[in-house]
Amino acid sequence: MKSHDWIAILDFGSQYSQLIARRIREQKVYCEILRHDTPAPLLRERMPKGLILSGGPASVLNEESPDCDPALFELGIPVLGICYGMQLMAKVLGGEVAPGDQREYGRTMIHIDQPGTLFEQLPQDLSVWMSHGDQVSRLPSGFHSIARTPSCPHTVMGDFGRQFYGLQFHPEVAHTQRGTELLHRYLFEVCGCAGDWTMSQFIEESVESIRNRVGTDHVLCGLSGGVDSSIAAALLHRAIGDQLHCVFVDNGLLRHGEAEQVEQTFADSFGIDLRVAHAQDIFLDRLAGIVDPEEKRKIIGNTFIEVFSEEARQIGPMKYLAQGTLYPDVIESLSPIGGPSVTIKSHHNVGGLPPDLKFDLIEPLRELFKDEVRELGRALGVPAAIVDRQPFPGPGLAVRILGEVTRERVTLLQQADLRVQQEIEKLPDYKEIWQAFAVLLPIQTVGVMGDERTYENVAAVRAVQSLDGMTADWYRLPYNTLGTISNRIINEVRGINRVVYDISSKPPATIEWE
């Protein structure tokens, strides 16, 4: 996807680097997050329209802090430094950075002295989001001070001739007033981007790229029924048709009706060659008596590989294996400065395959964020029931059944969870909820139904709001919705006599219970 305008973002470990990328792509400009030490010759080969240096947790005054190739400033393209990126730009270009007399964190008012291109037609005073201790104390040659605060005289700096700009604040966060407009001006007024990166263009380029790479070979795809693998399969099918072969492993741990929905959508509606492995008995038999969460995960993961491998052998030799890896997974695997190395999530990655199954990897979604994947799915005609599906754990309901996983307890949770889904979907703000589900607890409590005493199971309801799943806040479901969910589960699901609501956030809790 390199035939159009693009912006390079050098990552210095900022928690906001992905947010910068999202803000740019929202304006139909393609961008990539690259390592902070990406060499200038590599960028010269692909020549982005502009360069952004992200923020970061380090101090440029520390000798071991992340640096960049000084030759980047000789490429002849605009550069925007944000927070740490501004300070690094100043240091590399001959300015000075020093600890500020007063640190600035959170909302801060800045006063604009020279509007120029970035601040044209914006208010002279803006509320922005600061997060810094150091600041530029002396501007590099050719730079002017554009904006200030009482304690930071060079809050914004610019070299209008070379089109180098530095912002001590973060324009990408929602807390910064008119931040999106600032980025828009940088992209279109300064860099001259066309804003032509659309999903239809992505589909067209992806189809051509996949066809050129695959040729007459065949591709195997592990279809989980989740958003990512489903849309990856739809895109691959658009590109290579019957050269795509999908394997769907029904482990008996899916939501009510989910296995049937996947089979109907992809085999019947799309006409994809779909092989369904009905392996419920294998998984549930191996989980018998197991209560430790990690042991459950290992058993499910190993069994999945075993079943998937057997299906793959039956289909016959193939050169390629397709995965639904997304761009955040790619970014995390680069181990950016300031962040830990994170292995690609296991439910995206069919790893550990036996030696006789060797594939080249195809990852058609590796340039997209989650919301872009959903947009792609809609453009490909994937049903809304799959496109808008909430994230679902790789081990399925096994990690929502605390204690032993049995056929009876799976059925019980499926029925309780079905009532949760049905009521949640009635809410006008349903799509604001990241995940909502039921959990079956390993305890029983006393209840009264009619004139009879009961001693039955407890179900917990969990609903959270999140942007990426890394952090989450419990969702404030309306009382009448909670009441309806509780009444329906207790009255309609035989075996549950008590429902509780989980009001913990992440951190310190996790979204899933196991």
Which active-site residues does the annotation give? Answer: 83, 170, 172
Name the DSSP class of 381.
T
Question: Which residues have CB under 8 Å from 170's CB, separation 6+?
Answer: 16, 55, 82, 83, 128, 129, 130, 131, 176, 179
User: How far is it, in rounded angstroms, from Cα 421 to Cα 179?
Assistant: 37
Q: What phi-psi label fits residue 443: left (phi over 0), alpha (psi between -120 and 50 degrees) or beta?
A: beta
Name the DSSP class of 350.
-
Question: Which residues have CB under 8 Å from 247's CB, separation 6+?
Answer: 220, 221, 222, 223, 274, 275, 277, 308, 311, 312, 315
User: How far is it, in rounded angstroms, from Cα 514 to Cα 512?
Assistant: 6
263-270 long-range CB contacts below 8 Å, 24 or more apart? 265/230, 265/382, 265/383, 265/386, 266/223, 266/230, 266/233, 269/383, 270/234, 270/237
Q: What is the dihedral of CA 70, 76, 93, 99, to 10 degrees?
A: -90
Q: What phi-psi label fits residue 495: left (phi over 0), alpha (psi between -120 and 50 degrees) or beta?
A: left
Q: Maximum distance among all alpha carbons in the chain?
A: 86
